[in-house]
Structure 1
């Protein structure tokens, strides 16, 4: 029997965390829980900058975890699609996961490297070099957390 895993994410905005979370959950391999989606459904009037947002988000995480525990008990991976930016935030998830006997996988993402819209002129030629390549988000994962 395989041990279910809890996937956590760490990275800057726009680095591909939610894209990776969706990919992990494709085809029923895992169940994705996105904090932003839950917050929008439960508290549609509450903005990210609202003073109450943090307290409500913590309560919603506990609610999400109550469902995630059941998913893990069924042997299916859980994807917690929110930024586990702080050591404290990751610690909460790691503690909950380990209590339930799950492994933890931390995915770190960094944004794609962006090229300046005005590249420096080529030395000795006085012309600018143009590059039109786009790099996909890079993601690495380490396990266990």
Structure 2
């Protein structure tokens, strides 16, 4: 009997699109283990703002620790959801490569939502001070939307196009 290897689920979409909501849904329905970069970063560095000079290097270190743990989960036969934005082709290629080189499947979930909706959802989340998520301004969401690269079928992985949450 041939078994299907576990899968690494990647997420992309505008900030406020509902990626974490989808990640939680995948966690419950697959089942899978969800690893949220925002949750880890906010717990490890509660005073560190996402625009801080130190944020990028600390986030990369955190992703490395998450990946080491995720590999253990995958080797035990369970899917994982990497709950951070794979906003560029280069980032998606990096994480697709890590999954494939480790012998696991990889799928991308593109949470598509209009910019105005993403801004409104981010505004509500920020006003509610939701734990596990960064507070973003409308201009911050617009800026990040400007650097987001739409995924393409040429990226070498199955893409699930999901409406905003």
**1:1-145 residue pairs with structure 2 within 5 A?**
1-26=3-28, 29-111=31-113, 143-144=157-158
Tell me the TM-score normalized by structure 2. 0.66
Report runs of 4+ in structure 1 exceeding 4 Å deviation. Answer: 112-115
Structure with larger Rg: 1
Is there any run of 5+ residues in structure 1 with no aligned partner, and where?
116-141
Secondary structure at the counterpart of residue 9 of structure 2: strand
C-alpha contact (below 8 Å) 1:33/1:79 kept by paired residues: yes
- The alignment's C-alpha RMSD in Å is 2.0
Q: 1:114 to 1:83 in 2, by over 3 A?
A: closer
More helix by share: 2
C-alpha contact (below 8 Å) 2:49/2:55 kept by paired residues: yes
Cα distance, 1:2 vs structure 2: 2.0
